[in-house]
Each structure stands twice: as C-alpha cells, then as structure tokens.
Amino acid sequence: MTSASALQISVDDGIAVFHLDDGKANAVTFDVIDAFHAGLDQALADARAVVIHGRPGRFSAGFDLSVMSAGDKPMQDLVLAGAELCLRIYAHPQPVIAACTGHALAAGALLLLSADVRIGEPADAKIGLNEVGIGMPLPVFAVELARDRLDPRQLTAATLGARIYDPAGAAEVGYLDQVAAADTAVSDAMDEARRQAELRTGAIAATKTRLRAETIRRIRSTLPDDIAELSFG
C-alpha cells in the first residue's frame, strides 16, 4: 500500500484501489492530484483495473477552497492540474470504476464524469457541477466532459443552471450509471472492476481512444488559454 496526502492506494487481486479520505470534504488538492498520478502509474505496472472511492457520505466536494480563494493565479494552477488529472483518468487505458460514496460536487463531479463506470449509494448526497451557482464559469474541459457524459436534454440545467441532484437524479442525468443497494457501492465497484479486468487491455485501450479522442482534442486545443482566463465573478 502507498499513501500520500489524503489518498491511499493499494492493489487488491489485480485491482488498484484509490481511497480518498481527508476526514473532511475530501478536497482535491495538489498533493491529492500528485498521488492520483502516482497511483495511475502504479496501476499500469501492477493492476488491470482501477477503483476510486471516498468514505461513507463523501466522495469529494471539489477543489481545495483555501487555494481557490487565494487569488486567480493559485486557483488557475489548481484547476489546470485538476483538468490534467481528469484527462488522464478519462483516457486511462485500463477500466476505471468510481464508487460515489456520498457528496460529489464541482471537481468531485468531474472525477465521476472522467471515470468509465460510476456506481452510487442511495444516500442523502448532492452530486453536480455547482460552479455557476458560486460565481465561477465552468472551464471548457468541464463543459466538454459534461457534454460527452450527461444526457443532452439535461446538459443546460446541469451546467448553466448549476443543478444539483440526489443519487437517483444523478443516475438519470448521467453522473452515475447505477445506484447500488445501501452500503454496497464499493463492493459493487470492485465486482465490476474484476469483471472488466478479464477483458483484453489492448481492446479496452484502443476502443477508449477511438471513443474519446475528439473530446480530448477539443479540450487540449483550448486548455491553457481557457484556464488563463478563468476567474470568479
């Protein structure tokens, strides 16, 4: 097992398990982002699939607020690092399964949009992109991930309207693929990861590239300039 910051990473029977728990909001910090990258490197070497989960009641409430409120440049640096992480998860050549164990807001919701399969808990959880609601425009990478993964009929409400959903609503819109029975999201995600780990890695990687190449191209073509213009207000 390896551990850095709030993210613990272990390999269980060929599944790389990422457990995010900072005891608070499960914020996406620079340290957490670095740990995710190290874990994905480890997964490529030692595993065949990835499971990401939080603790009961909390998946992730988003980027580190202490950085997001420290001025435009620190905020832009963190959002850019988060965008790079989302792109890496979105393009990761192995199956990536997310167990949404609770609230998933802003960057937490983006992690869900980046994963291949998302399994939620039937809990009193809030899930969605709330950026516009707190005075921050959604960056292009977030819009494009939402455009790819969410129901087109709900896209405007989920992005421009900053609508937040309970797990059942999140499954209808596309943040989640299914809602598990109570307290089984992590075990169900492990079962799904084991099932997908039996598939041929090369076929998964090649198909994922074909499926997502255009969205990645659109994000990459705008990413540096878009983040450089990002601010609250």
pLDDT in tens, 191-224: 999 999 999 989 999 999 999 999 999 999 999 9
pLDDT of residue 4: 53
Beta bridge partners of 118: 98
Which DSSP symbol is given to 224?
H
Assess contact for 130 and 115: CB atoms under 8 A: no
- The percent of the chain in helix, strand and coil, each rounded to the nearest 5, is 50, 20, 30
pLDDT of residue 1: 44
Domain ranges of the chain: 2-197
Assess contact for 90 and 216: CB atoms under 8 A: yes
Residue keyed to tokens 């202490």: 66
Beta bridge partners of 102: 57
Which DSSP symbol is given to 139?
P
Q: Which long-range contacts (CB under 8 A, 24 or more apart) does 39-42 make?
A: 39/2, 39/7, 39/9, 40/16, 40/88, 40/89, 40/92, 42/2, 42/9, 42/11, 42/16
Residue keyed to tokens 């943040």: 175
Separation between Cα atoms, residue 196 and residue 97, nearest integer Å: 10
Looking at every residue in the chain, the average pLDDT score rounds to 96
Architecture of the domain delimited by 2-197: Alpha-Beta Complex (3.90)
Non-local CB neighbours of 72 within 8 Å, separated by 6+ positions: 230, 231, 232
pLDDT of residue 148: 98
Residue keyed to tokens 């613990």: 8
pLDDT of residue 5: 72
pLDDT in tens, 10-68: 999 999 999 999 999 999 999 999 999 999 999 999 999 999 999 999 999 999 999 99
Separation between Cα atoms, residue 225 and residue 28, nearest integer Å: 22
Judge whether residue 2 has pLDDT over 50: no
Assess contact for 31 and 5: CB atoms under 8 A: yes
Residue 6 tokens read as 């709030």
- Angle formed by the axes of helices 72-91 and 140-149, to 10°? 30
Separation between Cα atoms, residue 36 and residue 225, nearest integer Å: 25
Phi, psi of 79 (to 5 degrees): -65, -40
pLDDT of residue 233: 59
Q: 3 pLDDT band (50/70/90 cuts)?
A: very low
pLDDT in tens, 85-135: 999 999 999 999 999 999 999 999 999 999 999 999 998 999 999 999 999
